[in-house]
Amino acid sequence: MQKFSPALILSCLLLAVCVHAEPIADDGYAAGIEKWRQDFDHDVRTGGWLTLVARYKLEEGETAIGGDPKLAMVVLDAPARLGVLRRHDRSIQFEPEPGALLTLDGKAISGAVELSTRPPTGRVRTGAICFAVRQVGEDYYVLVRNDQNPAIKNFKGTTWYPIDRSYRVAATFLPYAQPEKVPVPMTRVDSKDVLTSSGDVQFQLAGKTLRLKTFVDEHELFIMFQDQTSGKNTYGGGRFLNAALPKDGVTELDFNKAFNPYCSVNFYVICPVPPAENRLPVQVAAGETFTEHD
């Protein structure tokens, strides 16, 4: 799966204004982009994004889950009752239905267990059906997967703009005085996740000096953006981009690797929404395309 992340390195504003990123000639560049895109397509197919079949917000108290359509949490193709989820503040317990053949992280369970909300743990499984509880901001959601979801077979694959080296640009990292904790809205739910931002990147594209807010994710910069192609030739909810941590205050943005959030291929996936300041006034005709707009 794609990774995200940033760093706090002081940079020179003059460089961002004066340097237009003429990519260094590299005979292997296009082949490298094609390989990256193939790997990304493989991740969409096999990374579990297409297996999600249901999503439920887990409220305080007790909630039954199973295949019975009368239950609060219905899991298609599952036994009538899988058990009961109990939430008390941040504590999540699951008590299986007597006689239900279930495992938790690969081990058989027969009595009440505490569920971890940290991936990849806390997975309750019966056959091809699996569910787990995950935290989004202050809220918790039950995410249900089916390894035999027809969406896997029906996925048509990712589509991309032709590779264009002019969309490979140098950018200056402009750190904030202090890192910011940013409540970021998520698609299709009311919850907000809190992401850390420690600076912006500034660069030139289409004859304009542009700026994007970045977020921290382990060992890379993570950038969410919308542009003048959004909702037309690309996904309306925007696209994502990863970049290397700045070195001497400079990094590289390669929009040929701009990709759609996974919520673009599955309604049950939730994704962060690009901040308002990351709406670019230019067309970024590079990276992943999208045509199945509502």
Q: List pLDDT tens digits, range 134-179.
A: 999 999 999 999 999 999 999 999 999 999 999 999 999 999 999 9
Nearest CA among 219, 252, 215 for reference residue 16: 252
Contact between residue 109 and residue 126 where contact means Cβ atoms under 8 Å apart: no
184 CB-near residues (< 8 Å, 6+ apart): 192, 193, 194, 195, 272, 273, 275
- Residue 17 scores a pLDDT above 60: no
Question: What is the distance, to the nearest Å, from the Cα of residue 26 to the centroid of all Cα atoms in its chain?
Answer: 30
Largest CA distance in the chain: 70
The angle formed by the CA atoms of residues 43, 44 and 46, to the nearest 5 degrees, is 60
**How many CB atoms within 10 Å of residue 254?**
23
Quickly list H helices, the chain. 13-18, 29-46, 150-154
> Looking at residues 108-133, what average pLDDT do you find?
97
CA-based nearest residue to 158, from 66, 262, 74: 262
Q: What is the DSSP letter of 161?
A: P
Cβ atoms 72, 85 nearer than 8 A: no
- This prediction has a pTM of 0.85
The encoded tokens of residue 122 equal: 């806390």
Of the candidate ranges 3-12, 197-206, 235-244, the one whose mean pLDDT is the lowest: 3-12
Task: List, in order of start, the domains of the chain with CATH numbers.
Answer: 13-48+157-278 (no CATH), 52-148 (2.60.200.20)
pLDDT of 219-231, one tens digit each? 899 999 999 999 9
Neighbours of 67 (CB within 10 A): 15
